Amino acid sequence: MMRPMCGRYSLHANPGVIALAFKLGVAIDWSARYNITPSSRIVIVREDAAAGRVAALIKWGLIPGWAKDPTIGNKLANARGETVDEKPSFRNAFKRSRCLIPASGFYEWKTVAGRKQPYYMHPVGAPLFAIAGIPERWQ
């Protein structure tokens, strides 16, 4: 399971561009998505000892190995960089493995006149960037 550092994000680059940008041997089968939310299936890029750099589709929402109920992953959608190595929910996953999450942009919200207004953040002049991720396997 995975945790980007934002509440919602987008990935709408061509799969071939993603493969080229992240030096993947094979492009992943992915359709453009403009509002990716926690519990969605997302693209990650990780290092594999045998295959090198690979992409995979996994569910966004970290389920700690010790969790008895997988719905906890919906509550664990973000980790703070300052405390990711200290919090019990993230500590073991952070020590074991890391990955990159390709993104085209992400959303932040600001309350304006009592209503939440989304703002779309993206790099100028670049189709992609990466968000840090910490994968965890849950059984």
First-to-last C-alpha distance (Å) of the chain: 11
Amino acid at 7: G
Catalytic residue among 47, 82, 99, 108: 108
Burial (CB < 10 A; 0-12, 13-18, 19+), residue 53, is middle
Q: Mention every residue, 6+ apart, whose C-beta is less than 8 A from residue 25.
A: 19, 51, 52, 53, 54
**CA-CA distance, 101 to 70, in Å (whole number)?**
21
Catalytic residue among 6, 47, 99, 136: 6
Q: Is 99 a catalytic residue?
A: no
Q: Is 47 a catalytic residue?
A: no
Q: Which residues are catalytic?
A: 6, 108
